[in-house]
Amino acid sequence: MGNEAIGLGAIAAGVGVVTGYPGTPSSEILPTVSKRSPGGIHVEWSVNEKVALEVAAGAAMAGARSMVTMKQVGLNVAADPLMSLAYLGVKGGMVVVVADDPGPISSQTEQDTRTFSLFAKLPVFDPATPEEAYEMIIDAFALSERHGTPVLFRPTTRVCHGNAPVRVREELAERPVPNFVKDPKWVIFPRLSYENHLRLEALLPRIGEEFSAYRFNTLIGSGRLGLVTQGISTGYLGEALAILAEGANQSPEHKLLRLGAPHPFPKRLALEFLTGLERVLVVEELDPFIERELQRLAGEYHLPVTVLGKGSGHVQVAGENSVAAVTRVVADFFGLEPPVSPTCADIVATVAADQALGTVPTASSATPMADSVAVVPPNPHLIEPPPRPPVLCSGCSHRSSFLAVKLAMRRRKAVFGGDIGCYTLGNAKPLDMVDTCLCMGAGITIAQGLHLVEPDKVHFAFIGDSTFFHTGIPGVINAVYNQTNIVLVVLDNSTTAMTGLQPHPGTGDTLKGDISPKIDIAGLLRAIGVKHVEACDPMRFEEAKAAVDRAVAAAATGVAAIIYESPCIHLIPSGPSYVIEEEACKCKLCITRLGCPAILLDDGKVVIDDDLCYGCDVCLQLCPFDAIKIVGAEAQAEVAG
């Protein structure tokens, strides 16, 4: 079965982590890997496609080869992390299998993942048979790892559920030893996104050039007429040509271009095909993807060729193709009398048409692909303003939360997964506490992927209260269900701070100002199976640090959660003012550890900027020399007395 071939091909390619969500026509891939695994491959049904992709991404960031499976509508759920991951890249090969469903046979839509590949700027492979699916997924892993990019793999229903004898490789690729290396490149920020966008734009033409020599992108024949096809339509076209040749005693002379890897578009191969042609007919499912690319090339190079297909009304614009439909279309293109629709006997008699046409090359015809990609640097002649990196606000409780975890873990190997929100800024030095950041909710799931391949490390997942409700809950459920031991740290500041202090289900009010039931994060975590849940105030620093030790101990046998509860400073009045006594100041830990923007060096002396200080007193708790004092503390004590 095509899906079984995909699973076996992934095993042959050395896959280490396979995730997915069941959806016809993709569902049989994961069970195949699970049943046929030689050992050491983690396979899981994740709670949704987004979670599945993020778990696989986490494993790939550590260098493991990973695969995630879904159907075409599942890609909508996974689109958020995938779009960002295209910019961020991967270390190990990562293949995203998206099974399209022309017809549709069991789906809400007829989406074409090739079009999504164009949108996401990712390579896509489009197999025509189960045999090709086996070989092509191995190629997909190799290309992904070589270029550090996830790739899309697009089998359709008739390939997924078709059956064929497949020669399986006896020797399996060695699985890489995972090793996550902390690097700022794993934390996505606007500046990095800009640079990575340039990298992507440089990468795609290089891969397109490789695809011009790819073994499953083939060009045969000659003449003034051209036929183009892809995927399962390759088989339909082959059978149609055999039927027409039998009826007319010969098939009209023509060129035949078959594209098994259509994006990035193999421009050089396509131009070779178009040269000298008068008319071209494109037979494909579902979008006019190849048709549009050929029309663009013909216009760009002023080629006197007419490209026909869906846009011209010659090929149906919806639904799956068939031998009968393609035979009628091709007969009309060649000016032949359309034959009577083929019977079952006719089809059985032409099952070898693909091989006779040479449209399914053997593995021995593989062409080596390039090993490197040039990265286009920013224009050196542009004058840019000096960088002004964003920082956590003075008095922000997230700073104390990060530092509590950091100090508690300084003698242990740990990875700190971040997320989208104010707390992403915890990546800045001196905190340096965000090792990964992909998209909302992904910190929890990437931590799981990392833990699967590096279980000797403690994996933390930091997430804000608003983001927890947005997309964090499914990831926690996934960790509990699949028994992946991580430490969840919910940074609850009682608002959606980064985007303007909007309410969320945990605040107890709505956009209209109505009172709403307040969803209790601790109660929700316990309800979904988290055994260790502890809430504390991160501004009580030693208590916050002690909570980390208890959570890490509990995470040895299950998911553990800490909820650091402290309101955003914009929701509460500021505290007292502080001053640093110069004679007592000895270590500068308040600067080298805390990194609060209100604490500055002025002429070598540590001072507190009263205009920036919010009076949180965390620096006071950290100072080992008692050098930080409350302004007017004695007077305040007398008043209090």
Q: For the sheet containing 560-565, what is the strand order?
A: 414-417, 458-464, 487-492, 560-565, 532-536
Sequence ranges of the domains in the chain: 2-183, 217-362, 397-571, 578-640
Structure tokens at 530: 């988290």
**Which residues are 367's β-sheet partners?**
none
pLDDT digits (tens, 9 = 90+) for 495-513: 988 888 888 889 998 877 8
What region, left, alpha or beta, does residue 496 occupy, with left being phi > 0 and alpha being psi -120 to 50 degrees?
A: beta
Name the least confident of 82-96, 369-383, 588-602. Answer: 369-383
Predicted confidence band at 249 (pLDDT cuts at 50, 70, 90)? Answer: low
Which pLDDT value is given to residue 220? 94
pLDDT digits (tens, 9 = 90+) for 22-75: 888 998 999 999 999 999 999 998 888 999 999 999 999 999 999 999 999 999
Topology (CATH) of 217-362: Rossmann fold (3.40.50)
Reduce the DSSP state of residue 214 to 3 states and report it. coil
In the CATH scheme, what is the code of domain 578-640? 3.30.70.20
Contact (Cβ atoms closer than 8 angstroms) between residue 621 and residue 538: no
Let me know if the fold of 2-183 is the same as that of 578-640.
no
Contact (Cβ atoms closer than 8 angstroms) between residue 79 and residue 117: no
Predicted confidence band at 384 (pLDDT cuts at 50, 70, 90)? Answer: low
Predicted confidence band at 636 (pLDDT cuts at 50, 70, 90)? Answer: low
Residue 272, number of CB atoms within 10 A of its CB: 14
Predicted confidence band at 121 (pLDDT cuts at 50, 70, 90)? Answer: very high
Structure tokens at 122: 């990712």
- Give the separation between CA 567 and CA 396, rounded to whole angstroms: 9
In terms of DSSP bridges, do strands 578-580 and 628-630 run parallel, antiparallel, or are they unpaired? antiparallel
Which pLDDT value is given to residue 108? 86
For the whole model, what pTM was predicted? Answer: 0.80
Asked if the 2-183 domain carries CATH number 3.30.930.10, the reply is no
**Which residues are 532's β-sheet partners?**
560
Which pLDDT value is given to residue 348? 45
User: Which amino acid, residue 387?
Assistant: P
Reduce the DSSP state of residue 463 to 3 states and report it. strand
CATH architecture of 397-571: 3-Layer(aba) Sandwich (3.40)
Name the least confident of 148-162, 328-342, 364-378. Answer: 364-378
- Give the separation between CA 562 and CA 552, rounded to whole angstroms: 10
Q: H-helix or E-strand containing 606?
A: strand 605-608
- Give the separation between CA 159 and CA 180, rounded to whole angstroms: 36
- Give the separation between CA 416 and CA 426, rounded to whole angstroms: 10
Contact (Cβ atoms closer than 8 angstroms) between residue 286 and residue 280: no
Q: What is the mean pLDDT of the chain?
A: 89
Reduce the DSSP state of residue 636 to 3 states and report it. helix
Nearest to 552 by CA among 543, 537, 562: 562
